[in-house]
Chains A and B, each alone.
Chain A
Amino acid sequence: MKIIPVVMATNSSLLCFFATSYCLAQSTPSEFAQMSFQELFNQSIYDTAKQRIQTSPWTLNYQYKTAKFEGYLDGTKSLSFSDVKGPPSNGSGKTFPVVPTTITQTAHIYSVGYQFNEQWQGHISVPYIKQSTDHLSLVPGYETFTIDTSGIGDAVMSASSTLNSESWLLSLGVSLPTGSIDEQGDTPRGPGDQQLPYTMQLGSGTYDFPVELSYQNSSAPNLTLKASATIRTGTNDRNYRLGNNYSLSGRYKTALSSKLQGHVGLVGQYSGSITGQDNSLLAGDSSTLYPASITNPDLFGGKKISTSLGLLWEITEGYQLNMELSKPIYQNLNGPQPKEKWRSSLYISKAL
């Protein structure tokens, strides 16, 4: 359930936008009158694009993402906190002495983009992640407690290219293990600080490969379809590997005015469970005694379908703002597992 610093999805559509216009900017009636059909074909319809091309191929982007998890699901069945809170479970048990109640994750993602040519774009992004988890527990002195972590997450380098037609865009990237997987905090497992569960770590600890293929309809309706995945490799220093993520999404965008677009979307996601296990998270000496559901590697991943609503605003002087809210309408989780309540993102792009 870690926040994946994949900004490729949003960036891809932005960069596709940058790539479409490469002619010199025209502004006077006379200059427009001299343009041939082919020159008109190559012109972006947006006023700001010319400024971008005239100045620099560099872009700066900032994205703020937040997600909240609350309540429990086992498959599609809702569970109360009292259903999950109980004596330590062994192996496939469904009760745990420590129960995370609310998980809040936020990420500030800073990225730089560079337009190599009409076809290729590159990006580097670095997230700063903050996480907070509230707990209930059976352990005396820890009946309720909160654990926070924060720091740099996994940096992502990616390259995107339009394919045969401008409608298709392929993005490939590599996620570097720059985020910590050694975060510690005060838990009921013992006095002082101990290793925190997978959800509280800031990185995956492995080299991961985000991939995305998107198609944008060339005429009305303005529909974008995307298939994306994050493929993880190897095992990190704590002997585990987070699950792969796969998603299919569709987004319908409609112009509300010349600079404002609204969009609605639907995304289906599948995440795998964790492979391997961090033995320092176990309670006692047993290799299967889990103090909380989020310490059991099998209780991660599942299927999810979410809807989204957003607003894309082409601000002048090379600024673009995108706001989006999404909420799951179906979740089938390897549980008991905290369920997602909602997530949101705010994205600002500035052409240099």
Chain B
Amino acid sequence: MQSALYSYQDSQAFKIIFKIILIAFVSLAFCDTAKSETQLTKKDKLKAAYLLNFTRFIEWPNNTPEIPPAPIRICVEDSPEFLLFFNQMSANRKSGAQQQTVKAYLSSTVDGCELLYVKESNKDRFEKIKAGLSENTVIVSDSDKVSFPGTSITFYEKNKNLRFEIDLQQLNAANVSASSELLKLARIK
């Protein structure tokens, strides 16, 4: 006679536990996704810091010399929290040889930008976004899980740390120059 203490561990119990895990998968994923939409994660903050660092080691062609130099524009999509954080981070800081200021904008509110930061959620609108870019725009992809045409820099994760990959061909096509210090730290595609 099977002990009552272990009666839950029959095949029915296995099915029930299996269903619980599946339900947990779905429900927790939804809960967590909803939460992440209203909260900037550390990973997002790190990506913002990387973007700011990129502007320090990439030089864009000076097509329209201005005094003082025009700001380096970072275009992002649909993320007011990210935009706010980036602009708080870059406030009163200068980048590159021309000591340019750096500012982030929503893509829809600015005509052209030096650097476009795209996420997986922008995939469907990417062609429309890209149509408004200049040939010198450096495209930075949020993740290696999705592929955007023309991407020069792609974030990826390695052992819980954030790394980036550079596509030299795309960087050259954008007619920008990246410092050797930047290339030394990147995984080259």
**Interface presence of A233 (CB below 8 A):** no
**Are A311 and B161 CB-contacts (below 8 A) given A32-B89, A45-B43, A325-B18?**
no
**Are A45 and B46 CB-contacts (below 8 A) given A40-B162, A260-B28?**
yes
Interface bracket on A: 35 or more
Most buried by A among B6, B18, B158: B6
Task: Judge whether A166 and B159 touch: CB under 8 Å.
Answer: yes
Proximity string of chain B (140-174) to chain A, C-beta cutoff 8 Å, 1 when within and 0 when not = 00001100000000001111111100000000000
Task: Judge whether B36 and A40 touch: CB under 8 Å.
Answer: no
State in angstroms the CA–CA spacing of A244 and B181 once bound together: 51
Q: Closest CB of chain B to A14's CB: distance in Å?
A: 11
Proximity string of chain A (123-153) to chain B, C-beta cutoff 8 Å, 1 when within and 0 when not = 0000000101010000000001110100000
- For A47, give its contact among B25, B41, B159, B162 (CB under 8 Å): B41
State in angstroms the CA–CA spacing of A32 and B41 once bound together: 13
B6 contacts which chain A residues (CB < 8 A)?
A: 104, 132
B160 contacts which chain A residues (CB < 8 A)?
A: 16-17, 20-21, 44-46, 49
**Are A260 and B29 CB-contacts (below 8 A) given A146-B1, A309-B21?**
yes
State in angstroms the CA–CA spacing of A21 and B161 once bound together: 8
Task: Judge whether B159 and A46 touch: CB under 8 Å.
Answer: no
**Interface presence of B5 (CB below 8 A):** yes
**Interface presence of A303 (CB below 8 A):** no
Interface bracket on B: 35 or more
B157 contacts which chain A residues (CB < 8 A)?
A: 45, 219, 222
**Interface presence of B123 (CB below 8 A):** no
Q: Closest CB of chain B to A145's CB: distance in Å?
A: 8
**Are A259 and B14 CB-contacts (below 8 A) given A20-B159, A40-B46, A43-B46?**
no
B43 contacts which chain A residues (CB < 8 A)?
A: 45-46, 258
Task: Judge whether A40 and B29 touch: CB under 8 Å.
Answer: no
B52 contacts which chain A residues (CB < 8 A)?
A: 33
17 sampled A-B residue pairs with Cβ under 8 A: A29-B88, A32-B46, A33-B49, A33-B89, A35-B49, A45-B161, A46-B42, A68-B14, A132-B3, A144-B1, A257-B32, A259-B36, A262-B25, A309-B21, A311-B21, A323-B24, A344-B17
Instruction: Give A contacts to B, CB under 8 Å.
Output: 16-17, 20-21, 26, 29-30, 32-33, 35-38, 40-47, 49-50, 66, 68, 102, 104, 130, 132, 134, 144-146, 148, 166-167, 216, 218-220, 222, 256-260, 262, 309-311, 313, 323, 325, 327, 341-342, 344
New A-B pairs, 8, CB < 8 Å, besides A49-B160, A260-B28: A29-B86, A33-B93, A45-B43, A45-B162, A46-B43, A47-B42, A50-B42, A219-B163
Query: Across chains A and B, which 9 residue pairs bring their CB atoms closest together, nearest first?
Result: A29-B88, A29-B89, A257-B32, A45-B43, A32-B49, A33-B89, A104-B6, A256-B29, A218-B158
